[in-house]
Structure 1
Amino acid sequence: MVKPNMYYNELKDSYLFYNIAQKTRTYVENHPGVKLLRMGIGDVSLPLCDAVIKALHEAVDDQASKSSFHGYMPECGAPFLREAIVKYYAKRGISLSAEEIFVSSGASDELGDILDLFDRSNQVLVIEPAYPAYVDANVMAGRKIMYLVSGEENEFLPEPNEKTEADIIYICSPNNPTGAVFSRSQLQAWVNYANKRGSIILFDAAYEAFIEDEILPHSIFELDGAETCAIEICSFSKTAGFTGTRLGYTIIPKALKRNGMNMNEMWVRNRTTKTNGVSYIIQKGGAAVFSEEGQKQIHENIQIYKKNAKVLMQALDQLGIWYCGGKNAPYIWMKCPRGMKSWEFFDYLLQEIQVVGTPGEGFGACGEGYFRFSTFSSPEDTKEAAKRIVKLLS
């Protein structure tokens, strides 16, 4: 008889965003005609920019002609997209080769798939609050998970604990859910820790395009020594609105080796075995993101989301409520008022003012008592939500 993966029994009964969807669905069914202001899920609301749409159309036309038709793409990514990414990083003074970049179907997929590189015996360190998939992917794989708690006292940016024996370290900066961003010195401390221990950092850079403070690092490869201890996983979803189109990329330096094994070469072997590559059409759209026109247009969209963040931050400032994030990230992490618990505050906002956010408890135990707002809604809905929140909590 087949034995299933019994580690699935150790997963929580349901996923955070599934619970939110169930609660909101029930509310809508019981209150027909009521419009909810959805500030919870991190899905974008603006369409793909013109430069990307033009490239997608051109790529579709290419597929209609025998002379320009493309079948299977290179498993690790089309040269034209890999080279575009190399040039993008070079503008920040980061030298990469195209062979160190792997095109993927999205950061979420890659954060789970990348675990194929590591033995089950490796211990994983997750900084809480954390994106739930970090935990669930490792639970499914049967790995031991350690949690490093963060809080207001360190602005949700903890330092490495030298006593902790972590092999795989998840770092997300700008962070989901807190919106906090590691400074250069703070991130350097993690790089130094990983190199000293022989650990590997999985650096989630999905929100780097939202950083506006010039002194903050966008990539872990801006730090000395990162090429021997880090893998960077990036996304087009929030940067360029590809949530429904699905595209990302992963950077694995050729200098990253452990126990005589080269991680870059291992990932080449993995991808050429397990994938047939991302479609030509989507990769052409992705390459347009890095064009001069594409960069201008996506940053115009990002500015709209950042204005949404300012509206929400002004509301919380007016109320005197503690929060972090917003300025350099598309998320605002606030302390629940009046000593409310996370799900209690969720229900309160839903029932009283029809505003939907994300309970902090869903991101780990130390998220209890906090709440996340996404800034990806429309400007109109964001302004209305802020107005309702101020009126309710004043």
Structure 2
Amino acid sequence: MIRPNMYYNELKDSYLFYNIAQKTKAYTEQHPGTELLRMGIGDVSLPLCDAVIKALYEAVQDQASKTTFHGYMPECGAPFLREAIAKYYEKRAVHLSPEEIFVSSGASDELGDILDLFDRSNASLVIEPAYPAYVDANVMAGRKILHLASGEENSFLPEPTEEIEADILYICSPNNPTGAVFSRSQLQAWVDFANQKGAVILFDAAYEAFIEDESLPHSIYELKGAKTCAIEICSLSKTAGFTGTRLGYTVIPKALKRAGMNLNDMWVRNRTTKTNGVSYIIQKGGAAVFTEEGQKQIHENIRIYKENAKVLMKALDQLGIWYCGGKNAPYIWMKCPEGMGSWEFFDYLLHEIQVVGTPGEGFGSCGENYFRFSTFGAPEDTKEASERLVKLLSR
């Protein structure tokens, strides 16, 4: 008799964004014709930039001719894209070989798949509040999870301590959901800790393009010793609007070894066994992101999202509400007013001003009295939501 993966029984009843969808669906059914201002889920609202669209069209045309047609792509990524990404890192004085870069269908996929590299006995450390998939992927794998709490007292940027006994360390900077960003010294402390303990950092750098303070690290490999303890997982979803086209990349340095095994070699074997690679068309579009024109255009879109952040931050400043994020990240993490719980505040905004955000409790117990706003919405919606927020909370 077949035995299913019983660890699924240990998952929470439903996923955070599913709960939000159900609540908003119920509201709109009860209030037909009402338009909601959605500031919750982190999907982008601007289209792919012209450089990417042009590359996608050209790639489609390539598939129409026998001489330029591409079938299966290399499982670890097309050389032209791996080389383009390596040159992108060179601009920050991070030297990687193309063979250390693996093209993926997105960071979310990789954050789950990468656990194949580690024995089930390895414990994972998740800094809370945290992206829910970190926890769920480890629960599904039957792995022990340690939760490291963070809060206003450390600006949601905790330091490692000797008491931590974990093998896999999740770090997201700029952080989702808090928008907090580790400084060089703070991140160096985690790198040193991982090397000392023999742990491996899974560094989620999906939002690095939103950092405008150049004193802050974009890549963990800007820190001394990171190549012997860290895997970096990146995405073009928020950087370049690839949420609907799906493309990302993972960096595993050849210097990263544990118990006599080379994790780069292991991932090559994993990818060549479990995937057939990302399509030629999508990889050509991705390569356009790393051209001079592509970088210029995606940062024009990012600038619009950053303006949204300024509008929201101005509203919260006017209300005297504590928050972090926004300046170097596409998320704003605010404290719920009047001691409200995060789901209580969600319902309050939905019913009073038809604004949808994300309850902090969905990111772990540390988020109970906090709330996340995404800045990926349309500017006019962000402006309207901010005005409604100020009017409501000024009462």
The TM-score bracket by the shorter chain reads over 0.9
Shift of 1:162: 1.2
Q: What aligned pairs does 1:1-394 form with structure 2 within 5 A after superposition? A: 1-394=1-394
The CA distance in 2 between the partners of 1:161 and 1:365, in whole Å, is: 21
TM-score normalised by L of structure 1: 1.00
The CA distance in 1 between the partners of 2:306 and 2:34, in whole Å, is: 27
Amino acid at match of 2:129: P
Amino acid at match of 2:364: G
Q: Per-residue CA shift, 1:136-169, capped at 9, x if unaligned?
A: 0000000000010000000000000111111000
The CA distance in 2 between the partners of 1:64 and 1:236, in whole Å, is: 26
Q: SS in structure 1 opposite 2:317?
A: helix
The CA distance in 2 between the partners of 1:155 and 1:345, in whole Å, is: 22
Amino acid at match of 2:47: P
The CA distance in 2 between the partners of 1:236 and 1:162, in whole Å, is: 35
Q: SS in structure 1 opposite 2:265?
A: helix
The CA distance in 2 between the partners of 1:101 and 1:377, in whole Å, is: 31
Amino acid at match of 1:172: C
| Structure 1 stretch displaced more, 161-170 or 50-59 | 161-170
Shift of 1:100: 0.1
The CA distance in 2 between the partners of 1:148 and 1:134, in whole Å, is: 13
The CA distance in 2 between the partners of 1:375 and 1:262, in whole Å, is: 40
The CA distance in 2 between the partners of 1:108 and 1:371, in whole Å, is: 22
Shift of 1:15: 0.1
Shift of 1:338: 0.6
Shift of 1:377: 0.2
Q: SS in structure 2 opposite 1:373?
A: strand
The number of residues matched between the two structures is 394
The runs of 4+ residues in structure 1 deviating greater than 3 Å are none
Q: Per-residue CA shift, 1:262-319, capped at 9, x if unaligned?
A: 0000000000000000000000000000000000000000000000000000000000
Amino acid at match of 2:288: A
Q: Per-residue CA shift, 1:309-356, capped at 9, x if unaligned?
A: 000000000000000000000000000001100000000000000000
- Structure 2's unaligned 5+ residue stretches are none
The CA distance in 2 between the partners of 1:106 and 1:100, in whole Å, is: 17
- Structure 1's unaligned 5+ residue stretches are none
Q: SS in structure 1 opposite 2:82?
A: helix
TM-score normalised by L of structure 2: 1.00
The CA distance in 2 between the partners of 1:306 and 1:278, in whole Å, is: 30
Amino acid at match of 1:112: G
- Tell me how large the CA RMSD over aligned residues is: 0.3
The CA distance in 1 between the partners of 2:82 and 2:270, in whole Å, is: 18
The CA distance in 2 between the partners of 1:190 and 1:259, in whole Å, is: 21
The CA distance in 2 between the partners of 1:297 and 1:105, in whole Å, is: 22
Shift of 1:35: 0.6
Using the aligned pairs only, state the percent identity: 86
The CA distance in 1 between the partners of 2:40 and 2:119, in whole Å, is: 35
